[in-house]
């Protein structure tokens, strides 16, 4: 789900719905006693529903949307995967979201990745966040949007950005594949040292890490494929002692 404004939600489904059942407002329930006034299926695919609310949503509040009794075009009723988080996204401020893990030296035929963590109480939209590096002059460059469509990052959520989701799942134990965002061409993050930057839609730096291969755990003979992991999301992004190599028990 994502919001168009404080009284309009868009609920997304993974297949087209029967438009008759999808248009019944009582088939949708929102937490915090928020009444849903109407439900409007969106043609031509009918896999998104615009929900108009009788009460405005509050910022920095996560709601739960539950859907019952809607069916797909074959008459199959929605099952147990009928809940989603909802809310109003805000512009990310400095340190709202932090860089939590960096893989800058992948194994052969694998890809870099960057994991970010929402340490704030705000709901953030990947569609309004950017990943970048800095060029030799220190200027932010190779700017790429984290998401091409609205994708909400709720408080305490982790999101991984990479070029190839299937490769990431093959190389590592990925507990939540739905939290992988694919960027067609990530900025360059060299194997020896580099800079990872996250900015908001205004171009303001939200978080930044100037990493070095020397930050890896010294007893690892081959750090190829071993990610660099943040220890404390509330401590400095640029403190070397706040980073270590990801554990071998977690597949590095």
Q: How far apart are CA 147 and CA 27, in angstroms?
A: 29
Using DSSP bridges, classify how beta strands 48-53 and 36-41 pair: parallel, antiparallel or unpaired.
Answer: antiparallel
Contact (CB, 8 A) for 34 and 63: yes
Instruction: List per-residue pLDDT tens for the chain, 252 residues long.
Output: 999 999 999 999 999 999 999 999 999 999 999 999 999 999 999 999 999 999 999 999 999 999 999 999 899 999 999 999 999 999 999 999 999 999 998 988 889 999 999 999 999 999 999 999 999 999 999 999 999 899 999 999 999 999 999 888 888 878 888 899 999 999 999 988 999 999 999 999 999 999 988 886 543 444 677 889 999 999 999 999 999 887 554 444
Angle CA 11–13–17, to nearest 5: 105
pLDDT at residue number 249: 45
pLDDT at residue number 219: 39
Question: What value does the CA radius of gyration of the chain take, rounded to a whole number of Å?
Answer: 20
- Maximum Cα–Cα distance across the chain: 62
Q: How far apart are CA 198 and CA 200, in angstroms?
A: 7
Token representation of residue 101: 């893990």
DSSP secondary structure letters along the chain = -EEEETTEEEEE-SS-B-HHHHT-GGGEEETTTB-EEEEEE-TTT--EEEEEESSPPPTT--EEEEE-S-BBTT-PBP-S--EEEE--B-PPPTTTEEEEEEE-SPPTT---EEEEEE-SSSBEEGGGEEEEEE-TTS-EEEEEES-SS--EE-TT-EEEEES-HHHHHHHS--S-GGGEEE-SSPPP--SSEEEEEEEETTS-EEEEEEEEGGGS-TT-S--TTPPEEES-TTS-TT-GGGEEEPPGGGT-
pTM of the model: 0.90
Angle CA 112–210–199, to nearest 5: 75
Question: Around Cβ 247, how many Cβ atoms within 10 Å?
Answer: 12
Contact (CB, 8 A) for 190 and 105: no
């Amino acid at each position: 789900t994502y919001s168009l404004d404080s009284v309009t939600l868009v609920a997304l489904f993974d297949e087209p719905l029967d438009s008759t059942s999808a248009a019944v407002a009582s088939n949708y329930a929102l937490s915090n006693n928020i009444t849903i006034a109407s439900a409007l299926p969106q043609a031509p695919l009918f896999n998104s529903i615009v929900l108009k609310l009788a009460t405005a949503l509050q910022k920095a509040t996560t709601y739960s949307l539950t859907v019952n009794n809607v069916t797909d075009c074959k008459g199959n009723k929605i099952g147990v995967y009928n809940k989603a988080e909802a809310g109003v996204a805000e512009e990310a401020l400095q340190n709202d979201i932090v860089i939590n893990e960096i893989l800058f030296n992948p194994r052969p035929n694998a890809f870099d990745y960057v994991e970010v963590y929402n340490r704030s109480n705000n709901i953030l939209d990947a569609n309004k966040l950017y990943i970048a590096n800095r060029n030799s002059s220190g200027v932010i460059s190779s700017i790429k949007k984290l998401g091409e469509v609205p994708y909400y990052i709720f408080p305490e959520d982790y999101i991984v950005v990479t070029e190839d989701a299937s490769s990431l799942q093959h190389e590592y134990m990925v507990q939540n594949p739905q939290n992988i965002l694919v960027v067609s061409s990530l900025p360059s993050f060299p194997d020896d040292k580099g800079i990872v930057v996250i900015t908001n839609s205004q171009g303001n730096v939200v978080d930044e890490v100037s990493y070095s291969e020397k930050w890896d755990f010294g007893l690892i003979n081959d750090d190829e494929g071993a990610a660099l992991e943040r220890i404390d999301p509330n401590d400095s992004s640029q403190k070397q002692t706040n980073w270590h190599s990801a554990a071998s028990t977690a597949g590095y």
